Amino acid sequence: MKSLIVANWKMNPKTYKEAKKLFDETKRLTGLLKGVSVVVCPPAVFLRSLAIGQRAGRISFGAQNVHFEAQGSYTGEISVAQVKDAKAAYAIIGHAERRAMGETNYDVRKKVDAALVGGLTPIMCIGEKERGHGAEHFELAREQLRVGLSEDAGKRLSKIIIAYEPVWAIGATKAMEPRQMHEMAIFIRKTLVERFGEAGHSIKILYGGSVDGKNAGDMLRNGDVTGLLVGRVSVDSQAFSELLRACAEA
């Protein structure tokens, strides 16, 4: 099975010229390596221009956010239909940085439903801000899954990707230990199976949070994940090259 690497460029780079250079290098690297597929999620202003003329293959496009309404008076937002028209196939939903700006579990629920109806694959992010010695992080993950996934979404779990990104690990010098991720992956599947049935066993799970070429392979081998959600490393061609090579070897 190929590892799915989601490159979340966030609000980078500054210009389209830089974005095109970064994308061309990402595409070149992806083409050289077997065993990996990459979803590039650039700032929305660059999305269409980068996607024009690109053939379907091991590199795809995604949006960093979508609105749940089809259209209307929502200044600064983008709809699922607009993202689809810009040739993207995925949408990151519920990222920790969006949640920090006020996005709720109920907003996530509506966005996931809208993405599914509109033909996008939602990459639904969950994760705790901090971790203590108790089981609070499991209860938070359960609540994010319970509210974020509607009954309709539960009927289409094969079309949904869950990205676990512990906020305390984002931007940190060290990623979460694979054994911790393995434990969380088991919990995510168990939670989904309890609610939606056997389909929960096959849910695709990504890990995100300070992942790089040094720890990516270990996470893929031992973290019980099918891929990675990559932030800052994805906008550094050299660092991203090292990560992709580690993933291909894993």
DSSP, residue by residue, 18-54: HHHHHHHHHHHHHHH-SSEEEEEE--HHHHHHHHTTP
Check residue 117 and give its pLDDT. Answer: 98
CA 101/CA 104 separation, integer angstroms: 9
Q: Is the pLDDT of residue 175 over 90?
A: no
Closest CA to 145 of 177, 202, 193, 182: 193
Task: Reply yes or no on whether the pLDDT at 130 is more than 90.
Answer: no
pLDDT for the residue numbered 170 = 78
pLDDT greater than 80 at residue 212: yes
State the pTM of this model. Answer: 0.96
Q: Return d(Cα 198, Cα 180) in angstroms, integer.
A: 23
Q: Which residues pair with 122 in a beta bridge?
A: 91
Closest CA to 112 of 143, 157, 77, 74: 157
Task: Residue 122: name the closest of 132, 107, 139 by CA.
Answer: 107
pLDDT at 36: 96
Q: What does the block give as tokens for 54?
A: 């690109």
Q: What is the CA radius of gyration of the chain?
A: 17
- For residues 233 and 239, give the distance between their C-alpha atoms in angstroms, rounded to a whole number: 6
Beta strands in the chain (DSSP E): 3-8, 36-41, 59-63, 90-93, 121-126, 161-164, 204-208, 227-230
The pLDDT value recorded for residue 57 is: 80
At residue 127 the predicted structure's pLDDT band, cuts being 50, 70 and 90, is very high
pLDDT for the residue 220 = 97
* Structure tokens that stand for 208 in this block: 């995100």
Would you state the pLDDT for residue 61? 98
Please, what are the domains in the chain? 3-249 (3.20.20.70)
Average pLDDT, the chain: 95
For the segment 72-115, what is each residue's pLDDT rounded down to a tens digit? 999 999 999 999 999 999 999 999 999 999 999 999 999 999 99
pLDDT at 58: 84
What is the β-pairing status of strands 161-164 and 59-63? unpaired
| Residue 56 scores a pLDDT above 90 | no
Find all residues with CB under 8 Å of 208, minimum gap 6, and list them. 6, 8, 125, 127, 163, 164, 165, 170, 228, 229, 230, 231
Q: Is 213's pLDDT higher than 90? A: yes
Q: Mean pLDDT over residues 225-239, rounded?
A: 97
Say what the pLDDT of residue 169 is: 85
Q: What is the pLDDT of residue 174?
A: 72
Q: Known catalytic residues?
A: 95, 165
Using alpha carbons, select from 228, 224, 230, 150 the residue that is nearest to residue 187.
224
Which of the four pLDDT bands, split at 50, 70 and 90, describes residue 249?
very high
Residue 55: predicted pLDDT: 81
- Please write the tens of the pLDDT for every residue from 1-44: 799 999 999 999 999 999 999 999 999 999 999 999 999 999 99
> In the predicted model, is pLDDT for residue 173 greater than 80?
no
